C-alpha cells in the first residue's frame, strides 16, 4: 500500500511541509518488522541465562552463560584464572550467586563453573546448545555479555552481526594454552569484558563462547574481528569438565607435512616424523605414508589437520585413513591420541608469534572482599588434586555414574569367594572349544584367574602376586592380557567402591575416578573389524570410569542412556596396547546382570569371542 507523504506530515503537525511534499513513500516492510520482532523475542528468551563472572564481592571480570537448570555455566579459562576456585556470578535478575570452578580446559580457553541457588531446589534459566557445524558464513549472530562492566545490575549488553568465517585457527597465546582451533569468526562487536559470553544463532541456540578479538593499538576498541570457541568442540570436553578434570587436547604423536614442499610444489600430505611410543607408531604408520582423512574429514593441508586435531580430548580414539608409502590401497585404523601438554614432535612447528589480545578487561587488583570467599558455601565444594581443576566434582560424577550402573546391573558385592563361568570360546582364526573360567581366591588373599579352552592346558595368572614374569601378564598369547582383564572384571563387580580393592601406584589415576566421555567402537560377535561408515555408525560416546590397582590401569565404558556396561580395556605397560573387551548380551544371574558375550581385541586384531552359558557366583 502507498501512502501520500503529505498526509503523513499533516498527522505529525507539519502542514507547511505537507503542502510542499509531492511524493509518496512505501509502508515499512513487513518482513523486516517480523524479523525485528523475532530477534527481540530471542533476546528476551536467552537474556536471563547470560552471566557476569565476578571476583568474590561482585567486581566483574568477564561473562558466561548458564547451560543447565542446576547452574552449570560456561566461560573462558582466562576469565576464571584470576578469580580462583570460588567466585560469584551475576544474572539479569540483579542477583549475585555464589559460584565454584568445576572443570577447565586451559588449551582451549574454556572453563565450567557452577552457580549455587539461593534456596535448595531453585532452578536457573538456561540456554540450549546448538550445532556449530551448521553455522555458515553470512549467518546472523547475537553476542551477549558485560563489556567494560557497564551493566551494574548484570543486564547483559547485546550486539548483532554476521558470521565472517568458520573453522578458523588462532595460535596459542601462551605455551600450548589459549589455542583456538576450528573456531568461529564474526563481526558482531565484542569488547573487553565480553570474554566467556555466549554467541547465539537466531534461534537462540548457543553456537560458541566468545573469547578473542582483534583490537586497535590501544587494545580497547574492536576492529570488527572476533573469535568464538565452537560449541561442538566444547561438547567434546564437557563431560571431562563436569568431572572436575583439568582437560588436555589431543596430538597424534606424528608430524604431518606437504610432500614436495621443499621443492616448491604442493602435493599430498605425508607423515614426516612419528613418535616411537605413540599409538600411531603401534598402528603401523611410517614416515612418508600419506594422510587421507582424519576423524571423518578429508585432509588437504597441514593447517587443516592441526585445526581438526585440536578439537578433541587427549586419549580419544578416532579413525585415520592413509596410504602406505609406495602402495595404492587406502587403509583405515583407529588411533589413540596423546596429550597436547606432552613434549612431542608435533609441536615443533607451532607459531611463536602471539595473536591479537582477546576481549578481556584490564584485570582489577584483588578485591578486598575476596578474603570473605572462604565463608562462601562454594568453598566447601573445592578439593585440590593433581590433574584436576576440582576433584570434588569428580567424586560427585563418580557416585552418580556408579549409582546408575548399580540400577542397571544390580549389586554383586555380596557374592564373595570363587566365581566360575562356562560356555564356548572361538578364536579369530577359527579354532574353537568349550570354555571354562575360574576366579579362585587363595589363602594369601590373591585371586588366580584360569581360562581353559577345550582340552588345551589352561592359562593361569595371579595378577597381584609379586615377581610375576612380565610375559605372563599378557596371557593368553595374542590376547594382550585377557586374564588380567578378567581379573579386573570380577574385582569391579564384587568390590564396587573406591576403597574396595582399587589401590594404585599411579598418582594421576588414583584408584577410582570418573574419566569424562570417550568414543567406543564395539565389535559384534562375528568378530569383523568395522571400517568406514560402519565404524562411524557403531560409535558410542560412553561415560568412563578409570580404575587402577597395582600397576594395572583399566577404563570402563558405560552407555550414556542407562549406564549399561559396554566394555573395558586393561593395560599394564603404558607403551603397550591394552586388552579390549566388549560386553553384550547382559542377562540376570542371581539378581545381577552379567555379560554373556565377550569380544576380545588387541591392537588391530580381534582375538576371540567368549560365549558364556552359565555363571556360578560365590556364596553370599
Around 375, how many Cα atoms within 13 Å sit in the side-chain half-sphere?
5
Q: What are phi and psi of 308, to 5 degrees?
A: -70, -40
C-beta of residue 556 within 8 angstroms of C-beta of residue 615: no
CA dihedral in degrees (429, 552, 401, 558; nearest 10)? -10
Rounded CA separation 4/547 (Å) = 80
Rounded CA separation 319/519 (Å) = 11
Q: What are phi and psi of 37, to 5 degrees?
A: -65, -40
75 sits in the region (left: phi over 0; alpha: psi -120 to 50; else beta) called: beta
CB atoms < 10 A from the CB of 363, how many? 14
Q: Report, in this order, helix, strand and coil percent for the chain, each rounded to 5.
A: 20, 40, 40
Rounded CA separation 436/565 (Å) = 22
Q: Output DSSP code: residue 159.
A: E
C-beta of residue 184 within 8 angstroms of C-beta of residue 161: no
Burial (CB < 10 A; 0-12, 13-18, 19+), residue 537, is exposed
CA angle 221, 76, 83 (to 5 degrees): 100
Sheet holding 579-589, edge to edge: 459-461, 447-453, 432-441, 419-427, 605-616, 592-602, 579-589, 565-571, 552-558, 540-549, 512-520
CB atoms < 10 A from the CB of 123, how many? 10
Which residues share a beta bridge with 499?
Answer: none
Going from the C-alpha of 161 to that of each of 176, 186, 438, 598, the distances in angstroms are 31, 7, 66, 54
Which of 567, 524, 514, 523 is closest to 545 using CA atoms? 514
Secondary structure, 3-state, 49-100: HEEEEECCCCCEEEEEEECCCCCEEEECHHHHCCCCCEEEEECCCCCEEEEE
Q: Which residues are catalytic?
A: 78, 109, 195
What is the separation of C-alpha 9 from the centre of its chain, rounded to a whole number of angstroms? 61
CB under 8 Å to 60, separation ≥6 — which residues? Answer: 52, 53, 54, 90, 146, 149, 193, 361
Which of 610, 543, 146 is closest to 361 using CA atoms? 146
Rounded CA separation 285/73 (Å) = 41
Rounded CA separation 347/275 (Å) = 12
Amino acid at each position: 500500500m502507498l501512502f501520500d507523504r503529505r498526509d503523513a506530515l499533516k498527522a505529525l503537525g507539519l502542514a507547511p511541509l505537507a503542502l510542499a511534499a509531492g511524493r509518496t513513500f512505501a509502508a515499512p516492510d513487513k518482513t523486516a518488522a517480523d524479523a525485528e520482532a523475532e530477534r527481540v523475542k530471542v533476546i528476551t528468551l536467552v537474556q536471563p541465562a547470560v552471566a557476569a563472572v565476578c571476583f568474590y564481592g561482585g567486581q566483574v571480570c568477564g561473562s558466561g552463560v548458564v547451560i543447565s537448570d542446576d547452574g552449570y555455566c560456561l566461560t573462558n579459562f582466562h576469565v576464571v584464572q584470576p578469580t580462583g576456585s570460588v567466585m560469584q556470578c551475576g544474572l539479569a535478575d540483579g542477583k549475585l550467586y555464589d559460584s565454584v570452578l568445576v572443570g577447565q580446559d586451559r588449551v582451549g580457553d574454556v572453563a565450567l563453573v557452577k552457580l549455587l541457588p539461593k534456596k535448595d531446589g531453585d532452578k536457573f534459566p538456561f540456554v540450549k546448545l546448538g550445532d556449530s557445524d551448521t553455522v555458515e558464513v553470512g549467518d546472523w549472530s547475537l553476542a551477549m555479555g558485560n563489556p567494560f562492566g557497564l551493566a551494574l545490575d548484570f543486564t547483559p549488553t547485546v550486539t548483532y552481526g554476521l558470521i565472517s568465517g568458520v573453522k578458523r585457527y588462532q595460535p596459542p597465546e601462551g605455551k600450548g594454552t589459549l589455542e583456538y582451533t576450528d573456531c568461529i569468526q564474526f563481526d558482531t562487536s565484542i569488547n573487553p569484558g565480553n570474554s566467556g559470553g555466549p554467541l547465539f544463532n537466531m534461534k537462540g541456540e548457543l553456537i560458541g563462547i566468545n573469547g578473542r578479538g582483534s583490537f586497535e593499538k590501544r587494545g580497547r576498541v574492536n576492529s570488527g574481528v572476533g573469535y568464538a570457541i565452537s560449541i561442538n568442540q566444547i561438547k567434546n570436553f564437557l563431560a571431562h569438565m563436569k568431572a572436575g578434570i583439568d582437560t588436555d587436547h589431543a596430538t597424534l604423536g606424528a608430524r604431518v607435512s606437504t610432500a614436495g614442499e621443499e621443492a616448491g610444489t604442493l602435493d599430498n600430505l605425508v607423515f614426516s616424523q612419528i613418535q616411537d611410543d605413540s599409538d600411531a607408531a603401534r598402528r603401523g604408520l611410517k614416515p612418508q605414508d600419506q594422510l587421507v582423512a582424519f576423524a571423518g574429514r578429508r585432509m588437504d593441508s597441514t593447517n587443516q589437520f592441526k585445526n581438526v586435531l585440536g578439537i578433541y580430548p587427549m586419549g580419544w580414539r578416532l579413525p585415520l585413513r592413509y596410504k602406505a608409502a609406495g602402495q595404492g590401497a587406502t587403509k583405515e585404523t583407529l588411533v589413540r591420541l596423546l596429550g597436547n601438554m606432552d613434549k612431542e614432535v608435533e609441536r615443533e612447528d607451532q607459531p611463536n608469534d602471539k595473536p591479537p589480545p582477546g576481549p578481556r578487561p584490564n584485570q582489577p587488583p584483588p578485591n578486598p572482599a575476596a578474603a570473605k570467599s572462604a565463608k562462601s558455601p562454594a568453598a566447601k565444594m573445592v578439593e585440590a588434586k593433581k590433574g584436576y581443576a576440582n576433584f570434588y566434582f569428580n567424586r560427585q560424577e563418580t557416585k552418580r555414574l556408579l549409582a546408575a550402573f548399580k540400577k542397571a546391573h544390580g549389586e554383586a558385592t555380596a557374592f564373595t569367594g570363587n566365581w566360575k563361568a562356562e560356555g564356548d570360546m572361538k578364536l579369530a582364526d577359527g579354532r574353537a572349544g568349550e570354555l571354562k573360567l575360574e576366579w579362585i581366591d587363595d589363602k594369601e588373599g590373591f585371586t588366580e584367574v584360569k581360562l581353559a579352552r577345550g582340552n588345551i592346558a589352561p592359562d593361569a595368572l595371579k595378577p597381584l602376586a609379586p615377581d610375576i614374569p612380565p610375559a605372563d601378564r599378557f596371557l593368553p598369547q595374542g590376547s594382550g592380557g585377557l586374564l588380567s582383564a578378567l581379573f579386573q572384571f570380577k574385582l569391579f563387580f564384587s568390590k564396587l567402591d573406591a576403597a574396595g580393592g582399587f589401590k594404585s601406584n599411579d598418582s594421576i589415576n588414583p584408584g577410582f575416578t570418573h574419566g569424562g566421555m570417550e568414543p567406543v567402537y564395539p565389535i559384534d560377535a562375528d568378530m569383523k573389524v568395522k571400517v568406514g561408515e560402519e565404524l562411524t555408525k557403531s560409535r558410542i560416546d560412553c561415560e568412563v570410569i578409570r580404575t587402577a590397582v597395582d600397576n594395572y590401569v583399566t577404563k570402563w565404558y558405560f552407555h550414556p542412556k542407562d549406564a549399561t556396561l559396554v566394555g573395558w580395556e586393561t593395560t599394564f605397560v603404558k607403551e603397550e596396547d591394552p586388552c579390549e573387551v566388549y560386553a553384550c548380551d547382559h542377562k540376570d544371574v542371581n539378581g545381577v546382570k552379567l555379560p554373556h558375550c565377550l569380544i576380545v581385541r588387541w591392537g588391530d586384531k580381534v582375538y576371540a569371542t567368549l560365549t558364556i552359558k552359565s555363571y556360578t557366583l560365590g556364596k553370599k
